[in-house]
Amino acid sequence: MADQAFNRTKVGVLGGGSWGTALAIHCARLGHDTVMWARGSDTVDAVNRLHENTVYLPGYPCPPSLRASSDLGAVITGSELLLMVVPTQYIVTTLGEAAKLLQPHQVMVSCSKGISLASLETVEELLERLVPPEFRSRLAYLSGPSFAAEVAGGQPTAVTVAAKDDQLAARVQALLSNPRFRCYRSTDVIGVELAGALKNVLAIACGISDGLGFGNNARAALITRGLYEITKLAVARGANPLTMSGLAGMGDLVLTCTGDLSRNRTVGLRLGRGERLQDIQASMGGAVAEGVPTAVAIRTLARKLGVECPIMQGIHRVIHEGANAQEVVTEVMSRELKPEVAPDIIKGVIANGSNTNLMEVLAAAGPPQTPAVAEAPPPALKATALEGAAATAARNPRSILCDGGRSGEREDGAMRTATVAVLAAGAGAALGAAVVAVSRWRR
């Protein structure tokens, strides 16, 4: 990993909640000159005087070098790298006129996850509308499985940094990575953005399931079929389906749907136990569960795109229409029985040759014929390499994938995480290919 001494810069973190504080702590530990903007004077005072955000992240000390300020303009103009960590529904009112202060040499990284309830815009679309036109190429987006408390505590974490310019993504990647916080990069901004936003609603669904006393079977079904709905929506908006099998997709989904630190899952858990949403939100001390407003946005977006999302629709009914959760579960489970793989996907595979798998169908299809899928599929070479690696690992469990493409063996024959990740990515890729195939076949 590059020597961090050569990557130190001035960082401004916009947002003093738990996630903003965790990222500010991380940046200060990296040696960056870090200032965190917070709206509340109590938060600013606690960080500067007690070196701890006793309001939103109590119990996690801040490095003495970390400073807090309530002067948004000063934080923006005094920083080279800006981390936007404001809840999605407040980005417009927070940034507003201050966006005019942005300079071409600066970089802004959005670390918020959600969809605007008012406009159905992703954070990317909101920011591109707010910032000066010449600054749009300086925007990047961070997402992935990352509980604030664990990042603040220095626990190992891996995330994705997305930007339309790969060189910009690589620069942010270098500035934010260390042995405890590893950043991967992507150019699929819309995929990373939608995966991060949509999983929050599914986390509420898993919480409701747990609150109702359902078991692991139900949670696994929700995660799997929910990922299918997320992938359909994301692809319809132009995302690369393979992103859904990565850290921003499957990684964040599993964490948020199963982790006890998940605010969205906690909201669902309490809903499942019979509490009212208003009472739950009032007890959260100002913390925001993004899945609550995002559920409304997803329902509207799914209708607009013509994408069937029974799980997402059911969650909206429970959260915002007061529907009985038990009855919604029964309705979703009692729908018309269907094949797990749609018949038109099978037709697409057959049409391309009986010996052709879904990854090859995707690679051979070339660029999509409709703007509904904006990203071209990965080259056939990459698809073949992925399948080859997975097949090798499956044939020989003692063949272990290592950094640099080398292989090694362990005496116990156990598979390393890297090998498991390749196999999981292969499964995710097949799902993504299937969604693209059905989208093209139907349109």
DSSP 115-157: B-TTT--BHHHHHHHHS-GGGGGGEEEEESS--HHHHHTT--E
Query: Quick one: pLDDT at residue 438?
Result: 44
Structure token digits, residue 171: 């620069």
What CATH number does the domain containing 43 carry? 3.40.50.720
Q: Is the pLDDT of residue 155 over 60?
A: yes
Q: Specify if 261 maps to a domain.
A: yes
Domain end among 285, 306, 333: 333
Query: Quick one: pLDDT at residue 377?
Result: 37
Structure token digits, residue 335: 């729908």
Structure token digits, residue 229: 């709905």
Query: Quick one: pLDDT at residue 388?
Result: 46
pLDDT band at residue 383 under the 50/70/90 scheme: very low
- How far is residue 24 CA from its own chain's centroid? 19
Q: Could you tell me the CA-to-CA distances from 315 to 221, 229, 254, 260, 431 in Å, in that order?
A: 15, 13, 18, 20, 23
61 forms bridges with which residues in the sheet? Answer: 52
pLDDT band at residue 1 under the 50/70/90 scheme: low
Query: Quick one: pLDDT at residue 120?
Result: 84
Domain end among 267, 300, 333: 333
Angle, CA of 145, 124 and 376, to the nearest 5°: 85
Summarize pLDDT for 411-430 with one digit per residue, the tens. Answer: 333 333 333 333 344 445 44
Summarize pLDDT for 197-214 with one digit per residue, the tens. Answer: 899 999 999 999 999 999
Rg (CA), the chain: 22
Residue 228 burial (10 A CB sphere; 0-12, 13-18, 19+): middle
Same domain, 320 and 388: no
Residues 296, 379: Cα–Cα separation, whole Å: 36
Structure token digits, residue 24: 């500010």
What CATH number does the domain containing 247 carry? 1.10.1040.10
Domain end among 308, 333, 358: 333
Same domain, 118 and 260: no
Point out the residues that are catalytic.
199
Same domain, 24 and 60: yes
Q: Specify if 338 maps to a domain.
A: no
Return the higher-pLDDT residue of 1 and 22.
Answer: 22
- Amino acid (one-letter) located at 267: V
Query: Quick one: pLDDT at residue 290?
Result: 83
Q: Is the pLDDT of residue 128 over 50?
A: yes
Asked if 111 and 84 touch (Cβ cutoff 8 Å), the reply is yes
Query: Quick one: pLDDT at residue 339?
Result: 85
Residues 167, 221: Cα–Cα separation, whole Å: 39
pLDDT band at residue 341 under the 50/70/90 scheme: low
Summarize pLDDT for 28-76 with one digit per residue, the tens. Answer: 999 999 999 999 999 999 999 999 999 999 999 999 999 999 999 999 9
Q: Is the pLDDT of residue 291 over 70?
A: yes
Q: Is the pLDDT of residue 6 over 60?
A: no
Q: Specify if 435 maps to a domain.
A: yes
Same domain, 267 and 240: yes
Structure token digits, residue 102: 């942005």
320-323: Cβ within 8 A, 24+ apart: 320/295, 320/296
Summarize pLDDT for 238-267 with one digit per residue, the tens. Answer: 999 999 999 999 999 999 999 999 999 999
Residues 6 or more apart whose CB falls under 8 angstroms from that of 160 comprise 142, 143, 144, 183, 184, 185, 186, 192, 246, 247, 248
Q: Is the dihedral of CA 153, 244, 20, 263 positive or negative?
A: negative
pLDDT band at residue 18 under the 50/70/90 scheme: very high
Residues 6 or more apart whose CB falls under 8 angstroms from that of 38 comprise 15, 16, 20, 44, 47, 68, 69, 70
Same domain, 46 and 169: yes
Structure token digits, residue 112: 């918020």
pTM summary value:
0.76
Chain length of the chain:
443
Same domain, 35 and 113: yes
pLDDT band at residue 441 under the 50/70/90 scheme: very low
Query: Quick one: pLDDT at residue 374?
Result: 34
Q: Specify if 339 maps to a domain.
A: no
Q: Residue with structure tokens 């150019």?
A: 187
Asked if 186 and 241 touch (Cβ cutoff 8 Å), the reply is no
**How many structural domains compose the chain?**
3
Torsion angle in degrees (nearest 10) through CA of 410, 412, 418, 419 = 110
Same domain, 176 and 46: yes
Same domain, 18 and 138: yes
Q: Specify if 340 maps to a domain.
A: no
Same domain, 145 and 263: no
Asked if 176 and 30 touch (Cβ cutoff 8 Å), the reply is yes
Q: Specify if 407 maps to a domain.
A: yes
Q: Specify if 387 maps to a domain.
A: yes
Average pLDDT over residues 159-166: 98
Same domain, 27 and 131: yes
Asked if 34 and 26 touch (Cβ cutoff 8 Å), the reply is no
Q: Residue 428's domain spans which residues?
A: 345-442
Lowest-pLDDT range of 39-53, 72-86, 321-335, 354-368: 354-368
Of 389, 390, 386, residue with least CA distance to 360:
386
Q: Specify if 357 maps to a domain.
A: yes
Of 94, 78, 101, 99, residue with least CA distance to 16:
94
pLDDT band at residue 347 under the 50/70/90 scheme: low
Same domain, 212 and 182: no
For 247-264, the DSSP string reads IIIIIHHHHHHH-TT-HH
Q: Chain-wide mean pLDDT for the chain?
A: 81
Same domain, 317 and 398: no
